[in-house]
Each structure stands twice: as structure tokens, then as C-alpha cells.
Chain A
Amino acid sequence: MVSLVENERALSPESDPMLPSRYQVRRVRRENADTFTMELAASDQSGSVLFAPGQFNMLYVFGVGEAPISICGKTRNGLEHTTRTVGTVTSSLGRLRRGDVVGVRGPYGSCWPLAEAAGRDVVLVAGGIGLAPLRSALQTIVAQRPLRHRVTLIYGVRTAEDMLYLQELERLRDRGLQLYVTVNRATGSWRGNVGVVTSLIPRVPFDPLNCVAMVCGPELMMRFSMEELIKRGVPEQRIFLSLERNMKCAVGFCGHCQFGPEFLCKDGPIFRCDRIRRWLNIAEL
């Protein structure tokens, strides 16, 4: 027989990368009008609760389909996923209740550069639901923050009602997080910032030459945030973005998530800015 490509993993039935494990919904918490957080715990031994902040799982709803959802936290029993209902699968996820079962494959993808962040100021820039993939990184970074380093979150939302994790962010602020929230629309009763996150990047205090920036949100927002960070003096090698594309398999087979030479599922979703900056500037890539 012809010798096959090396690195063939053991092909026991359980190694099928497309086979989900069953996880039970332990809790559903509504975050805002169209966003909710689900706590999932493995129904059997096969499910993993190990993940690195920034990675995602493929969540399967019986008979409906799969969607890539970032893992936004860990509880004693399982994993948390914050989801916005935008499509068929996420809407079905939104109808699940405590005790229901979902299929889970993962965790997949690259993670936020926590090791690199140690010993530096950290600036997180989040837009809307983009805070979810940053949440567990934020928790870890604040918990491990040495006193001399600043941890800053610049968080932009459409309106004040769209904010995620409000109480939790306030608790993190008490533990040293520099929190800047800005909304796109506000009525006269709003006392906070109005405007886009990019307007705050030049204003907030951090050391651009000794910081790590992590950006997650709509692509347009990330592109402009990246340019503002660079303008402020942050080296491209220390700016990280989390991209989003269509995904069917999450393991590099289906081809859907290609972004130039990158597969978002296995090379990303988190990329160092210098690796993808040129591709971000190509329309309809």
C-alpha cells in the first residue's frame, strides 16, 4: 500500500473530529434583548472543560445545526457561552432551557496572548458582542494584574441597554480595571461617553510602547481600532484581533473560513495584527 501522509492520528471511533459530545444546559442568563449566556456541563466523561481564553466551540442543536460560539468563561461545572441570536442555530440555542442537551465540539482555534500580556499594560478594545470572546481573558488578566501595570477595557456598544456583563465589569473595576464604556446613541439622561471606541483610544492612559492590545468586535471597528492603536504607537506585533467568518467544520476541512492564506478555524480566530493587516485591506477577500 502506498504510504500515507505522516501525522495520521489514531483513528479510533472516538477520534472523529466531527462527532460532538453531549453537554447539558445548566443555566441560561439573559444579557440583553438578543443576547444570552449559557452554562454547559459535560453529560459524560468525553467532554472537555479545558480551553484557552479566545477559543471557541461548535455548538450543535439537535436537528438544526452547528454554530461556532466563543467560550467566554468557566464555572465550577462547565463552560459559558454568550450568544447573540442572529441565525437559525443561535435562535434555536436561545430556546434551550435548563436540562436540555446540546452537542459540543472543541475547543478550537488560537487564543489571546496571555503570556505576552504578563508584565505589560493591557488594552482590550471590544465592540458589542465582541466582549464575549475577551471575557475570560479579561478575568484572568485582572486577577493576575501586578500593581504597576494597567488593565484597560474600552467597550463600545450601540446603546446602554446592549452592554454585557455590567455587574461583573463593575466588580472588575473595583479590582483595578480601567473601564471606559462608550455608546453610539444616547439620550440626555446618559452620563457616560457617547462616540466610538476609536475616539477613546488616543485618550485613555496606557503605555503604548509596553502594552499588549486585544481587539474584538465588528470587522470595521477592529480595522479602525487597529489603525488608532498603531497611530498611538503600539507596535503591530503587540496588537491582536479576533476575526469572524463562516465555518462548517472548525478543523480545516470545509474551506469556508479562509481569509487569504489563513484558515480562521485553525490559524485563528485570533491573529497578530502584522500577520493579517494587509489582508484586512482587501475588499471581499
Chain B
Amino acid sequence: MRTVVGAHCDAGDFVVIEREGLEELSTVLRADGYKLVGPRVRDGAIVYDEITGAGDLPAGWTDEQDGGTYRLHKRNDDAFFGYAVGPHSWKKFLFPPVVRLLEATRRGSDFEVKRSNDTAPKLAFVGVRACELHAIATQDKVFMGGAFVDPIYAARRRNTFLVAVNCGHPAGTCFCVSMNTGPQATGGFDLALTEIIESLRHYFVVEIGSPAGARVMDQVEHSVVTEAEREAARGVVARAAGMMGRAMDTDGIKELLYRNYEHPRWDDVAGRCLTCANCTMVCPTCFCSTVEDVTDLQGEHAERWRKWDSCFTMNFSHVVGGSARHSAKSRYRQWMTHKLATWIDQFGTSGCVGCGRCITWCPVGIDITEEVRAIRESENAGATQREDMSHARS
């Protein structure tokens, strides 16, 4: 009998839990004081929300995604994680869409001001995909990697336990392979599960990514992994890698876009873009925010709130006199060049993790991979033409 309960686990170990083990893992995490958040079906989509345990997961559901399209379907098995990412991302828990920053009270001509106590709940994220781990790491750099640290993000981040899932079901809009962010979770997690469904058995291979993960697994009934089980897990990821619905050639992409700030393609995409900001809201790395100041009716109590903002709004770039980015073209260009080019200069990585959400949730199906391809191919075509002409002359 391979099952060992209470055997000591270490970071770096691989163990196996059976289907029922997922509920046990949930129980252990809850007992540790964690509130669980994870995928569940709501309003016709798989969203991230509070869950009580494995029973709330979208078992037996899958999704179908394409540009501007998202549909749920029943699967013919009971897979807990047999779908890709939905409209939500984990950023809403770490970088809340609306949060109060300050409270101030008037005292005559003076006032008192204090920071709002943001409760940083102990959250366990269940079902974090590799692309999403990269997105979290990307936002870590934004909010904690510079000279200033956002205390709200940092406190929430510190209280987070990450249960990753190696992706077995990429969507039609996925391109994590191109972005080098998946489908295998390679780090930045406490535990990483690979869900394996065989005809007679449904189990998870668990990679332990941190001492905290090891302490949790110590309390969950598990067995030592066999080579066959590890091979099966590797197979899941390898198959997923072959199922990418999209691809993006990232070779020299920063330079490509820097060379093409003036390109007819921006006018083309602006003709389709509604500047609705959906792409920025669903993007797991987009971090822009605005602040709003409010007072009570007497003007005695004031508050300052931070809210998600989007570079697609006209007000976003407001300077004295008007918007610095007036046209839809300039706003789409800002978003895409930021994501794929200027981000690299700012933070040393791409701002895109290849999750495909911006493609799926764009109401007109604008496809970032297609936009890059169009610009790249126009350059290649130009180069070929120039070559042809030089041949013709010689």
C-alpha cells in the first residue's frame, strides 16, 4: 500500500491525491484559516468567487472560446478543471476593483487623515493556471518591485496561498506557449495539481512548491508518486501545449512595435475597436487605476477611493486642455504597445501572458495575436518587395 498519511513532505516533492483528496485539501486549508476562492459557474460563465470546497467547482463543465465568443458546455466526464480561464482573473482579490485608500475628518481649518484599514483576508486561490501565476508575478513587480510598495496589494499577496492547476484544456484563444508562460506551472505556487482522468481512476499529481505547501500536504492523505503517474501528468501538459488556439511570434516584438508606431494597421483596428475597455478589465496584468474623492453632505468626512481604470477611456490621459490620447487609434496603440513592448522596458517582462481573455471578451473579436501578425507581415512584405526591386535593378 503506497498511501502514507502524515508522512513528511518537502518543497519540490511530487505526491498523489485521489479525487476525494481535493475536498480534503479544501478542508485542511479552511482549517488553516484560509477562505477558499476558485472557479464556479455563474451567469453562464466560469468565474472566480468564494467556494466552500471541491463541490462548488465546475465539475463536468467546459468552455468554448473564440474571438468575441464564450460558451459553456457539459463535458462527458467529471473533470474539476476541464476548461480554460473565464472573464475573471485573480487580480480582483489582490488589487481590488474598488478600495478605500484614505479617510479624512475635518477639524476646523485642519483635518485628520488616516489610511483605511484594508482587511487582507487569508485567501487560498484554487485552480490558478500557469498563465495566471505569471500574471500574478507580473503584478508583483508593478506593486512591490519598485521603490514604492502598495501596502494593500502586498498585504493581500502575503496572505495568499496558491493552488495551481497545470492546464489540460486550453481554449481557442489561448497562446501561453508563445508567451512562454504555460501550460506547465513552473514556479510561484504553493501546490500545483495535475488532474488525471483515466477510465477507472480520477486523481491528481501534486507538486509541492513551497514549505507552506508542504505543511498543508502533510495533513492530506496522499501517496508517493509513481513514474507512471508522473508520466501521465507530463502527458496532460504536453497535450495541452499542442492545443493552443492562437500563437504569437514574439521574436523582437518590442523593436517591431517601436518601429511601427505609425502604421496603417492602427487605423484599421481603430475602425473596429469600440474603446469599451473590456480587454483591460479582463486582462490579468492590467494595473491602471484612478482615484475618486468623496465627501458626506456636510463636508465633514472625506474619503479617497481607488478604482480600476482603463487607458481606453478619454479621461485617462486628460491634461490641462484635453485628452492627450484623443483618437481610438492612439488608445488601442497605447494598450497594445504597453502590453507587448513598453512593459518590457518598464518591468523586464512582457505584460502579456497569453491567456487570451482580451480576444474572447472583445465584443468585436479584436485579436491581439492577429494585430501583431498584421504588422509583422507588412514589414516582411515590405522587405520582400524591396528585395525584389533590388533584384530587378541588378
Contact with B along A227-262 (1 / 0, CB 8 A): 000000000000000001110110111111010110
Confirm or deny: A20 has a beta carbon within 8 angstroms of a beta carbon on chain B: yes
- Which B residues touch A62, using CB under 8 A? 104, 106, 111, 302
Complex: how many Å from CA A253 to CA B120?
Answer: 19
Contact with A along B318-354 (1 / 0, CB 8 A): 1110001111011000100010011001100000000
Does B102 contact A19, Cβ atoms closer than 8 Å?
A: yes
Contact with B along A1-35 (1 / 0, CB 8 A): 11111111101010111111010100000000000
Complex: how many Å from CA A248 to CA B161?
Answer: 31
Chain B residues numbered 206-220 whose CB sits less than 8 Å from any CB in chain A:
209-212
Confirm or deny: A50 has a beta carbon within 8 angstroms of a beta carbon on chain B: no
Confirm or deny: A43 has a beta carbon within 8 angstroms of a beta carbon on chain B: yes
* Shortest beta-carbon distance from B277 to chain A in Å: 13
Contacts A1-B210, A62-B302 known; A284 to B330 CB distance under 8 Å? yes
Complex: how many Å from CA A9 to CA B153?
Answer: 13
Contacts A63-B299, A255-B289 known; A2 to B149 CB distance under 8 Å? no
Contacts A253-B143, A255-B289, A258-B342 known; A19 to B110 CB distance under 8 Å? no
Chain A residues numbered 188-213 whose CB sits less than 8 Å from any CB in chain B:
none
Contacts A246-B318, A282-B261 known; A261 to B346 CB distance under 8 Å? yes
Contacts A63-B295, A254-B290 known; A103 to B140 CB distance under 8 Å? no
Chain A residues numbered 66-86 whose CB sits less than 8 Å from any CB in chain B:
66, 86
Q: Of the candidates A2, A251, A263, which one forms a contact with B346 in the assembled complex, judged by CB atoms under 8 Å apart? A: A263
Does A101 contact B291, Cβ atoms closer than 8 Å?
A: no
Contact with A along B287-299 (1 / 0, CB 8 A): 1111101110001
Complex: how many Å from CA A254 to CA B291?
Answer: 9
Contact with A along B195-214 (1 / 0, CB 8 A): 00000000000000111100
Confirm or deny: B151 has a beta carbon within 8 angstroms of a beta carbon on chain A: yes
Interface residue total, chain A, C-beta cutoff 8 A: 52
Complex: how many Å from CA A267 to CA B261?
Answer: 21
Confirm or deny: B115 has a beta carbon within 8 angstroms of a beta carbon on chain A: yes
Confirm or deny: B31 has a beta carbon within 8 angstroms of a beta carbon on chain A: no
Contacts A253-B287, A256-B316 known; A266 to B147 CB distance under 8 Å? yes
Does B317 contact A19, Cβ atoms closer than 8 Å?
A: no
Does A8 contact B299, Cβ atoms closer than 8 Å?
A: no
Closest to B101 in A: A18
- Which B residues touch A65, using CB under 8 A? 291, 293, 304
- Which A residues touch B160, using CB under 8 A? 2
Contacts A11-B155, A62-B104, A62-B106 known; A283 to B143 CB distance under 8 Å? no
- Which A residues touch B149, using CB under 8 A? 8-9, 11, 15, 17
Q: Of the candidates B146, B188, B261, which one forms a contact with A266 in the assembled complex, judged by CB atoms under 8 Å apart? A: B146
Closest to B105 in A: A62
- Which A residues touch B111, using CB under 8 A? 22, 62, 101
Does B104 contact A66, Cβ atoms closer than 8 Å?
A: no
Closest to B254 in A: A261
- Which A residues touch B212, using CB under 8 A? 1-2
Complex: how many Å from CA A43 to CA B111?
Answer: 11
Q: Of the candidates A5, A17, A284, which one forms a contact with B327 in the assembled complex, judged by CB atoms under 8 Å apart? A: A284
Confirm or deny: B233 has a beta carbon within 8 angstroms of a beta carbon on chain A: no
A-B pairs, 6 with minimum CB distance: A255-B288, A284-B330, A261-B345, A63-B302, A63-B295, A251-B148
